[in-house]
Amino acid sequence: MKKFWLFLVLFVATFTLVACGDDDPLDEDPTNFKIAMVTDVGDIDDKSFNQGTWEGIEAYGDANDKEYAYFRPSSVSTADYIETIDLAIAEGYRIIVTPGFLFEEAIHDVQFRHPGVYFILIDGAPHSGDFTPDIASNTLSIFFNEHESGWLAGYAAVMDGYESLGYLGGMAVPAVVRFGVGFVAGAYYAAYELELDTFDFETRNYAYLGGFSPSDEHKNTALAMYNRGVEVIHAAAGGAGNSVMLAAEELDDKWVIGVDIDQRDESTRVITSALKGLGIAVQTALDDIYEQEFEGGRSLTLGASEDAVGIPTGTNAFDRMNTFDIDDYDRIYNMLGGKVLNVPKTPQELVRYIDALGYSVTTGLEAKAQGS
């Protein structure tokens, strides 16, 4: 017994001795600014949104010899996001990148308290809780035209010969709604170009899973969709997309369109992905900061005109397609980028768009896309 207490005392003493030392001092030279990413609930390996952002930071940091790191809050609440950002700043990080609208209120708080720190908020604009954007000059908020990306993916799928399409979003948050709206619109536009007499995107093949994490339940939802004839599903659902891929792998001739980043390595069934140029956008913003050309106080919306959305075009990018190739893609992409084509952004616009193309809208599609 006595030995145990002796051991305990020694144990504690060792740790107390260890507890001495100093922290790094703050670096004021702009070229030495360190980059910190703060994640929300998800982690940086979510194969999707966070990962896209993180990979952008990583690539930039390695190429330009900048220090970078990421931080995770200790719990999910605005107060904890603020504490995490404060911690990163206290650790000497002067550029804070936060992906996701969950950070809107937190950034609103910190942007004014830390005027010497740069904030890049992706998919959101800071506000004080009333959803009226209030962006300080040291903050840049970046949005994407996800509907254009979805549109291109939907177009590619139908042009490639698929007729029965499905859409599975994670939750009906604005970015995910836009992916879906664009996807359906692109599919109808392809049908219109192919002069198909009828084309239906069935309402029941459009759904939100209710989450961004993989689960058997999501896989079953996808299986059910495939089993009623759907050939390809656009899964805009982060990690939950992997459940859709698993479902496709269990069946013959069923395919998936990925989201955010090129997901072809996740599964052989991924024919293409609806990209969101997270990495490019972050890198551009970082470059501006280091070049001292940063223009804050505004929100930026990036789309086809800025080359920030689309589907992958690298080597082998089209090898899982039947006929659709880079030339077909370039033609339509230029039309989109040159604003020759208009892409609907909201479910309401989608309905009018389909109508204008001369197809009948399946009942309930608008409400379904809205998420209600």
Partner 1 sequence: MERIRNILKKCLAFILGKSKSILVTIKPSLIAICMGLIAGIIMMLIFNPSETLSGLRNLLIGVIYRNNQLNLRGILTTLHHSTTIILTGIAVVFAFRTGLFNIGASGQMMMGAYVTVHVGVLWSLPAPFHWIVGIFLGVVAGTIYGLIPGILKAMRNVNEVVTSIMLNWIAASLLVYLVNRNVLNPFTQGGSQNIQPTAIIPRLFSNYQLTIGFLIAIAMGILAHFLLYRTTLGFQLRASGFNVDGSKYAGMNTKRNIILSMGISGAFAGLAGALLFSNYGKTLSTEVHVFMEGFEGISVALLGLGEPIGAIIAGIFLSYIKQGGFYMQPAFRPEISDMIIGVIIYFTAISLALQLALKKYSGKIKTFIKRKHLTTREEDEQ
Q: Does 65 bind partner 1 (CB under 8 A)?
A: no
CB 284 within 8 A of CB 141: no
Residue whose entry in the numeric block shows the structure tokens 């002069």: 195
Q: Does 57 bind partner 1 (CB under 8 A)?
A: no
Q: Cβ of residue 123: shortest distance to partner 1, in angstroms?
A: 10
Q: Which residues of 28-60 are buried (b: 16+ CB within 10 A; e: fewer)?
A: eeeeebbbbbbbbebebebbbbbbbbbebbbeb
E strands present in the chain: 34-38, 68-71, 93-99, 118-122, 139-144, 165-169, 206-208, 232-236, 255-260, 270-276, 298-302, 309-310
DSSP 75: S
Binding pattern to partner 1, positions 286-325, x when CB under 8 A?
Answer: ----------------------------------------
Q: Does 83 bind partner 1 (CB under 8 A)?
A: yes
Report the distance separating Cα 284 and Cα 66, nearest Å: 15
Report the distance separating Cα 49 and Cα 28, nearest Å: 31
Q: Cβ of residue 10: shortest distance to partner 1, in angstroms?
A: 11
Q: Segment 127-166, which members bind partner 1 (CB under 8 A)?
A: 129, 131
Amino acid at position 68, single letter: Y
Q: Does 281 bind partner 1 (CB under 8 A)?
A: no
Q: Segment 324-343, which members bind partner 1 (CB under 8 A)?
A: none
Q: Does 61 bind partner 1 (CB under 8 A)?
A: no
48, 51, 84, 283: which one contacts partner 1 (CB under 8 A)?
84
Q: Smallest Cα–Cα separation from 183: which of 213, 214, 160, 206?
A: 206
Q: Cβ of residue 53: shortest distance to partner 1, in angstroms?
A: 16
Q: Does 18 bind partner 1 (CB under 8 A)?
A: yes
- By beta-carbon proximity to partner 1, the closer residue of 33 and 71 is 71
Q: Does 346 bind partner 1 (CB under 8 A)?
A: no
Chain residues in the site for partner 1 (CB under 8 A) = 1, 4-5, 8, 11, 15, 18-23, 36, 41, 69-81, 83-84, 86-88, 90-91, 101-102, 105-106, 129, 131, 171-174, 177, 210-213, 371
